[in-house]
Structure 1
Amino acid sequence: MNPRTIARLKQHELIENRQLKTGKHIDDIPNRAVKHSDSTNEFRILNNYFFRNRNIYISKHSRFAEYPEHTHQFLEMNYMLSGECDQIVNGKQVHLRKGDLLLIDVGCSHSISRLDEDDILINLLFRDQSININFLSGMRKSNSLVYNFLLNRVSGGGKLTPKYLIFRSEHSEDIKMTMEQIIEEYYEKREFSDTILQAYLSILLVKLVRNYHVSAPEGSNAKQKLIINILKDISKNYRDISLTNLATKYKYNKNYLSNVIKKETGDSFKDLLTKQRLIQAHILITSTTLPIEEIVEKIGMKNKTHFYKKYKEFYQRMPGDDRK
């Protein structure tokens, strides 16, 4: 990142100087932008304050005092540009290190502990209220057998999604790169900056979907862990994987393994394999100009008529419709 931008963010702002002197939180948002709860000390920050003349709002979180519990009417991203911080998010302790990104859903409560001199936390907010963790989850769910299975296990049926997500820097270098491009573009205020920020935001959202994972729930049994590994194998080797291959790899009887897959996922091995092939076909159809006949061959399906039938069942439209 441009050293000039970093130096600017490290400078003390007026509120930071006051908080450094008193050690107490100073409100930087007017009362008209806040709706207080009648039953708790929590408050909700309203949309209109941030988005009067812009679609994206970025700010540096003020250092040297704790920030009280609050919620937003919009999706919020907290990016740890330098240093580290602790937060309580949805009642749980969260620790962020340099390069980590915390995605907080609409209505999710959080508070932030005191930040010190070298702790630079960047807040990114944007206007589109249709973008939330459910939206990202839906995109991810349609492109990952593993994610779909894990979400069902975590939520007890797949109807619930997490209220926040953490993207760790060591696993999401591409997210880190785009986030820092956004920050620099926002603060440098160069020509066409608004247009570039909108493009970067679109890229960032897609990268968040690509890196959106749900961990296996604590206490997962041996069969669930086996299924997670099998689903990863199917996702990676969908073209030519077979139940016989998997039975040999994991040293199980083929029929027994087939029953375990059906019991744990609700689908047969054959159905899971077909779903993964259709997902891959959809990606190729929407992102390349390859002929559909060639795509059918690439994903490992032999019968073109069978492919069209299954694609229509899975996506509720024909392959050609996704290229219009």
Structure 2
Amino acid sequence: MDTLFNDLKQLNEEEKNILKNGHKDINQSNYTTQSEFVIESSKFLEDDSLIITRKHPRFVEFPFHKHDYIELNYVYNGKMKQKIGNQEIELKKGQMLFLNQHIEHSLEECGEDDIVINFIINPPFFDYIFQELEKETKGELINKFLFQSLFDQNRAGSYLYFKVSEVPSIQNLMGQMITEMMDKDLFTEIKMKFTMGLLFVELMKNTHYLESLEANYDYHLTNEIINYVNSSYRNASLSELSQQVNLESYNLSKFIKRNLGNTFKELVQEKRMNEAKKLLKYEDYSVESIANQIGYENISYFYRLFKKHHGLTPHQYRKRSISQIE
């Protein structure tokens, strides 16, 4: 890692020019062809490329700007201070921030030891990854929340702040991608795509490190709802959640339907059915025991729901899963 850090500390041509010009304002024409400051992916990506990594230029401030791509900021060393709206954020070593293409932010000047890696990602890059994750983790609410945050249909700016400095699996993946950035070959973009897919899997496994600082109230409330359903699905109730988020049940129900596409009851059922699948596939509990564990006392009702959701009875699903494993 010391060798990589020393390599990253070396001045690139852009940083040499910044120092030569006395830390003056950046030349926006290097980043955009528009009158507004919208950094364009075409300035960095070749026509057929979907993802690239680059070291964030040190020694100069970046005024408020947007991107026409999704950006991931990762602090390899030191820190990075930025402002999103009126919200000030200081990213520390090992932390990362996803910003969608509608967000506007400014960046303070980074010092010599502040090494930040920018991942410039065209939205189509995520199409395949999200399709595969949806197949494997169908119904998991956090997936929907993450994806909707990055691809907001209302063109609202949003971001996701992951405080994952102490998660080795995530840090190892980031290290692999940065090393790949420093030693590119013909397979670099392919390896980056696969590694980014693994990163998303690890982020979804570690959502308790997610701190959504989105100024939009909808994102805060959606995150609370997801966390509640995921942790309390066995005995979840709309009235309890209503008290927790300080919102009347009627208005909360409307909010859930509008923002997550399902009723509260459907969200809970979806979570329970997915937990039932895991228990049937990997544990030896009886079907009756599994039904009780996920919150159903009426076994017949559980059978009907399971078949409705998965097209098989619990026994049929378990039998098929065992045969697939063998």
TM-score range, shorter chain: 0.5 to 0.7
Deviations along 1:284-312, one digit per CA (max 9) or x if unpaired, are: 68xx5779985955646566653354346
**AA matched with 1:182:** M
Deviation (angstroms), 1:280? 1.8
Q: Label 1:92 to 1:36 Cα distance change in 2 as closer, same or farther (>3 A).
A: farther
Matches within 5 A, 1:171-210: 172-189=167-184, 192-210=187-205
**AA matched with 1:66:** E
Q: Label 1:129 to 1:270 Cα distance change in 2 as closer, same or farther (>3 A).
A: closer
User: In the alignment, is residue 27 of structure 1 matched against residue 27 of structure 2?
Assistant: yes
**Is the 2:159–2:214 Cα contact (8 Å) retained in structure 1?**
no
Q: 1:34 aligns to what SS in structure 2?
A: coil
Q: Distance in 2 between matches of 1:11 and 1:81?
A: 14
Deviation (angstroms), 1:92? 2.7
For structure 2, the residue ranges without an aligned partner over 5 or more in a row are: 146-153, 257-262
Q: Label 1:59 to 1:181 Cα distance change in 2 as closer, same or farther (>3 A).
A: same
* Partner residue, 1:5: 4
* Partner residue, 1:98: 93
Q: Distance in 1 between matches of 2:296 and 2:61?
A: 57
Give the fraction of aligned pairs with identical amino acids, expressed as a percent. Answer: 24
**AA matched with 1:263:** S
Matches within 5 A, 1:140-179: 142-144=139-141, 163-170=158-165, 172-179=167-174
Matches within 5 A, 1:198-237: 198-212=193-207, 213=210, 232=228, 235-236=230-231
**Is the 2:64–2:105 Cα contact (8 Å) retained in structure 1?**
yes
Deviation (angstroms), 1:274? 3.8
After the TM superposition, which of the residue ranges 269-278 and 109-118 deviates more from structure 2? 269-278
* Partner residue, 1:250: none
TM-score of the superposed pair, with normalisation by structure 2:
0.65
Deviation (angstroms), 1:207? 2.5
Q: Distance in 2 between matches of 1:107 and 1:88?
A: 15
For structure 1, the residue ranges without an aligned partner over 5 or more in a row are: 149-158, 244-255
Q: How many correspondences in the alignment?
A: 281
User: In the alignment, is residue 318 of structure 1 matched against residue 311 of structure 2?
Assistant: yes
Q: Distance in 1 between matches of 2:76 and 2:242?
A: 48
Matches within 5 A, 1:298-313: 299=294, 301=296, 306-307=301-302, 309-311=304-306
**Is the 1:308–1:318 Cα contact (8 Å) retained in structure 2?**
no
**Is the 1:89–1:110 Cα contact (8 Å) retained in structure 2?**
yes
**Is the 2:95–2:162 Cα contact (8 Å) retained in structure 1?**
yes
**Is the 1:47–1:127 Cα contact (8 Å) retained in structure 2?**
no
Deviation (angstroms), 1:118? 0.3
Deviation (angstroms), 1:236? 4.4
Deviations along 1:90-144, one digit per CA (max 9) or x if unpaired, are: 4532211111101111121222111111011100122343749xx79x9799424
Give the structure with the larger helix fraction: 2
Q: Distance in 2 between matches of 1:64 and 1:282?
A: 53
Q: Distance in 2 between matches of 1:296 and 1:97?
A: 43
User: In the alignment, is residue 16 of structure 1 matched against residue 35 of structure 2?
Assistant: no
TM-score of the superposed pair, with normalisation by structure 1:
0.65
Q: Label 1:131 to 1:47 Cα distance change in 2 as closer, same or farther (>3 A).
A: farther
Q: Distance in 1 between matches of 2:112 and 2:10?
A: 9
